[in-house]
Amino acid sequence: MADSTTTTPPLTRASVIAAHELIKPYIHRTPVLTNTTLNKLASSARSEEELAGTRWRGREQPGVDGSKVREEGEKEDGRRQKGGAKPVMRLWFKCENLQRIGAFKVRGAFHAVERLKMDREWVDGGGLERGVLTHSSGNHAQAVALAAKENNMPAYIIMPEISAPPKIAGTKGYGAHVIFSGSTAPEREATAHKVLAETGATFIPPYDHPNIILGQGTMGLEFQEQVVQLMAEKAGSGNADRSNSNSNHDNKNTAKGLDVIMTPCGGGGMLSGVALSCEGTGITVFGSEPSHQGADDCKRGFEAGQRVESVSSLTIADGLRTPVGKLPWSVIYERRLVKQVFNVTEEEITAALRLVLERMKLVVEPSAVVPLAVALFNEDFREMVEREAGDDGWDIGLVFSGGNVALENLAKMFG
């Protein structure tokens, strides 16, 4: 399928910075929030009874430092006899659910369109008149539809028939021509080829393209800067002034900033883009996925050393049902810019979603809370934080990727 542009920047942090400058007029600088209750939950050990009904039942956690005097409840080898890990986590949430179209995807879509407009041959050849095309289950569909509308060009969107009704309505609301297809990648692509032949539109991939990856990575830049600024403001106005005077994407401010960023992973555009934005900053990047019906293809690929090319899952995290693309994989795994990927169950995703709705009063979609579910419930991750961060703990950035969820679906989940 044809590229969305003939020339693309290299996949570097500098290119993410350039992408951010390009799309600033079209996106929101979404807020970063914290929540004391979720920090306490994330930093508390789950009891043996709480773990009993999970895959972590009977698990013994290693002590953080074998040289320390053993605490009550530890065996002679330094392993605690009961309960889960007790890491110290300070959570920061990047609220892309408050982004335009309700999801981070608008960043990549606008970057792809702006790069197209920079291609004089494409413009002079009638590209604007023929428009753009993509296939997506919802958020990327709405993003491309909005970018096309604001540039007065047609958009053709291939959507699975099982797409969430609010996402279909949103895409149509931006004036796009919606064409329905089957839910598998081959079915979507076959329909896309047919429409491309009929319209001559230019294809904008959902995630497997440099312009998409770089656009999504702009969120990581903002996240880094915002947390540094918030920390400096909390420490005192003097630090805040120094932070603000030195916030040009270099992350060298007085405040320490984030230790970790963790994002959801579907096709990998966001995860790889954020990883690029963190390259050379000292921030460690992790991915998170649902485990349901093999939706954790990136995790499995990491462990096998080879990209998993197909996924067939009906996880409730519907935005994460796609396999990781070739280009995202090259950044995530081959360049080792992502340290590790963790998975969570449907029950853990639902529990995290309930906490966000009840404690933070934010409407988010199930895909958005997968990183939080890892922080709260994945004992492999929690044990790693306890071991590597020690008593100081980590400041962990979690991405709320979107908020496009049907209210009736929320009612079904919690009814």
Catalytic positions: 105, 137
Residues 6+ apart with CB under 8 A from 118: 5
Asked if residues 230 and 28 have their Cβ atoms less than 8 Å apart, the reply is no
Report the alpha-carbon distance of residue 233 to residue 101 in Å, rounded. 30
74 φ, ψ to 5°? Answer: -100, 150
Name the H helices within 155-308: 165-173, 185-199, 210-235, 237-244, 269-278, 297-304
| Distance of alpha carbon 190 from the chain centroid | 27
Report the alpha-carbon distance of residue 167 to residue 134 in Å, rounded. 14
Over its C-alpha atoms, the chain yields an Rg (Å, rounded) of 22
Report the alpha-carbon distance of residue 182 to residue 248 in Å, rounded. 45
Q: How many CB atoms lie within 10 A of CB 347?
A: 13
SS3 string, 182-213, reads CCCHHHHHHHHHHHHHHHCCEECCCCCCHHHH
CA angle 209, 215, 216 (to 5 degrees): 90
Strands 340-344 and 284-290: parallel
Report the alpha-carbon distance of residue 214 to residue 52 in Å, rounded. 43
Q: Which two tokens stand for residue 163?
A: 């797409």
Distances (CA, A) of 81 to 60, 61, 78, 340, 384: 6, 7, 9, 27, 18
CA torsion angle for 145, 147, 151, 155 (degrees, to 10)? -30
SS3 call for 302: helix
- What is the number of alpha carbons within 13 Å of residue 121 lying toward its C-beta? 4
